[in-house]
Amino acid sequence: MCGIVGYVGSNDAIDVLLNGLSGLEYRGYDSAGVALANGTLAVHKREGELAALESTLPTAELRGRSNGIGHTRWSTHGPPSDANAHPHTDDEGRVAVVHNGIIENYQSLRDELTADGVTFESETDTEVVPHLIGRALEEGMAPETAFRAAIDRIEGSYAVAAVFAGSETIHAARRASPLVLGIGDDGYYLASDAPAFIEYTDRVVYLEDGEFARLSPEEVVVTDSSGTVVEPSVETIEWDAEDAGKSGYDHYMLKEIHEQPTALRQCLRGRVDELTGTVTLEELDALESSSPVQFVACGTSYHAALFGATLLRDRGVPAQSFLASEYSTDRIPVDSSTLVVGVTQSGETADTMRALREANRAGAETVAVTNVVGSSAARECDHALYIRAGPEIGVAATKTFASQQVALTLLACRLSDGSNHDVIRTLRDVPDQVQTVLDTSQATEIAAEYAESDAFFFIGRGYQYPVALEGALKLKEISYRHAEGFAAGELKHGPLALVTEETPVFALVTGDDERAHKTVSNVKEVEARDAPVVAVTDGQTDVERYADHVLEVPASNEIGAAVTANVQLQLVAYWVAHRLGRSIDKPRHLAKSVTVE
Ligand code: F6R
């Protein structure tokens, strides 16, 4: 996830662009840059947060220019650096481009352009675009035709904007990455998200997939992929600048819960081929050892690790997960055939870092499964597998957990033999199924019913056991209510003593196998003790008969159901905390990245 912004109009473009980028920093903050046009192109970009760019920008010199584009980056190809920051230009400085998304065929385009004598300045996928445009200009095409010709060559997801030296026009296009246009009295705007320009205008046009836009001082023209002019539908945004970074949601956490379908698509993009059943993880091309696998992680990431280890064991690969703070190579056998996988959203968690360093010292091959390109874990490990969830601002991990589940499923396919067709089909459907849960969930009603309860219990088996643990963790950290997750079979070995009519039990019952039916028996034990039961189910068993409430998830296999059931529990946690008036994005005593042991 990155943020792009563009402006043409009667104000100083540089001021509008910098304002816009600060409204988009939630989308990425590992580098930022701007390009001003209508004269020779002035391109300034810098690694680090927007403040780093601003501190070196000759802002006064840049005033007086009427159009430009800007970018705030969340790395996917190439670590954060000045060179990898956007905008990118062609060899001759004729065009500058910003991009959000992933260009899947960038390697073959890069090879083709390199063979043509083009020199690349960065490691990004984006840089192929200005070079393709530059080549088209050399062939005699006008800027707009050159832009369209370049976009026609790229595959994957993109929201792209380009400015040309000496021109006041901005060209833009989108496919599977967001792009919204702003219609103001003082000019026209474009951005990945309306917060970038909401203080100037609330009139917007959401560009559709495959559409192009041309923004000039006089007009905005939208065209479809064949070049036919499309009448844009102008909408009015109902929220104001204050809500902006959260796109109208009350909290980042809720926004991030709703971003999950996009995050999961981004995690899968370019990595699975449904036709051949292949999973390709370029980052792990050089991976050698595969067994046994030891996962190390903390908190929510540990729950994802439990899920990953279950998956690997089911596919015949010996695997265990360890709380990173309990991991020690003095007591756990590790050698050069061991693969140690650190699962860490931030890539900075001290406990996980220590475990990975020990594993490296003991000669294991190491992989970081992380969201942050260039993070400490990514640098410490032999390999890094990126989950591509985009920045997560809420302290409680939500979209990164779902993306970890999907990334670890891909890792399991990569590390095991056998057919991946079924898994790939499941993963293909998961983003839409998560959307269905988001659209239909009854979690607010459940929260209203039980927010004042003494304690909450969560039970699940197999793939749903880590989800039970995660459901409890999410609830306790943001609502401050007592919550525990258990393997469903364990309830009768002790915790059942805590179950009363004041303690709702959330039972995760999906599928129709032995595990699901045994969990139904555990639900009956709970029901017999008068505890309210909320079944999270796909309806394949008769658990509904014993439940007071049902939270539905779409029918899938155990992998898909573990992702969607977790989304229901995220929503329950959120709405309970909301009712109790908690500080949801910044819960007491907690930090997003825990860098002490
Ligand atoms: C819970 C949560 C924490 C983190 C844990 C590990 O919502 O966010 O439990 O999962 O601190 O953090 P990472 O994944 O950054 O290593």
Which atom of ligand 1 lies at the shortest distance from residue 300's CA? Answer: 10
* Per-residue pLDDT at 390: 84
> Which residue's C-alpha comes closest to atom 3 of ligand 1?
299
Residue 18: is it exposed, middle or buried by C-beta count within 10 angstroms (0-12/13-18/19+)?
A: buried
Distance CA 24, CA 14 (A): 15
- Using the mean position of ligand 1's atoms as its centre, give its distance from the Cα of residue 180 in Å: 33
* Per-residue pLDDT at 239: 63
Q: Are 251 and 394 in contact (CB under 8 A)?
A: yes
- Using the mean position of ligand 1's atoms as its centre, give its distance from the Cα of residue 501 in Å: 32
- Using the mean position of ligand 1's atoms as its centre, give its distance from the Cα of residue 471 in Å: 14
Tokens read off for 408: 């670890």
- Using the mean position of ligand 1's atoms as its centre, give its distance from the Cα of residue 343 in Å: 10
* Per-residue pLDDT at 263: 93
Q: Which of 54-63, 139-148, 475-484 has the lowest mean pLDDT?
A: 54-63
Is the shortest distance between the CB of 346 and ligand 1 below 6 Å? yes
* Per-residue pLDDT at 319: 98
Q: What is the DSSP letter of 169?
A: -
Distance CA 505, CA 583 (A): 25
Tokens read off for 129: 């675009």
Q: How many helices (H) and strands (E) does the chain have?
A: 17, 27
Is the shortest distance between the CB of 477 and ligand 1 below 6 Å? yes
* Per-residue pLDDT at 595: 66
Is the shortest distance between the CB of 568 and ligand 1 below 6 Å? no
Residue of 253, 295, 301 with the most ligand 1 atoms within 8 Å of its CB, for mutation:
301
Q: Are 34 and 52 in contact (CB under 8 A)?
A: no
Q: What's the chain's average pLDDT?
A: 94
Residue 244 pLDDT exceeds 80: no
The pLDDT tens digits for 151-171 are: 999 999 899 999 999 999 999
Tokens read off for 9: 């109009």
8-12, 202-206, 418-422: which is most confident: 8-12
Is the shortest distance between the CB of 455 and ligand 1 below 6 Å? no
Q: Tokens 């002035």 map to which residue?
A: 42
> Which residue's C-alpha comes closest to atom 10 of ligand 1?
300
Which among 168, 164, 171, 160 has a CA at the least distance from the CA of 65? Answer: 168
E strand residue ranges, 187-273:
187-191, 203-206, 212-215, 220-223, 229-230, 235-236, 272-273
**Could you tell me what percent of the chain has a pLDDT over 90?**
84
* Per-residue pLDDT at 55: 95
* Per-residue pLDDT at 176: 79
Is the shortest distance between the CB of 298 and ligand 1 below 6 Å? yes
Residue 444 pLDDT exceeds 70: yes
Residue of 302, 322, 327, 345 with the most ligand 1 atoms within 8 Å of its CB, for mutation:
345
Residue 177 pLDDT exceeds 90: no
The catalytic residue positions are 2, 592
* Per-residue pLDDT at 241: 61
Residue of 257, 296, 346 with the most ligand 1 atoms within 8 Å of its CB, for mutation:
346
Question: For residue 142, what are the contacts with CB-CB under 8 A and spacing of at least 6?
Answer: none
Question: For residue 391, what are the contacts with CB-CB under 8 A and spacing of at least 6?
Answer: 1, 26, 27, 28, 29, 74, 371
Distance CA 27, CA 208 (A): 20
Residue 567 pLDDT exceeds 70: yes
Q: What's the predicted TM-score (pTM) here?
A: 0.79
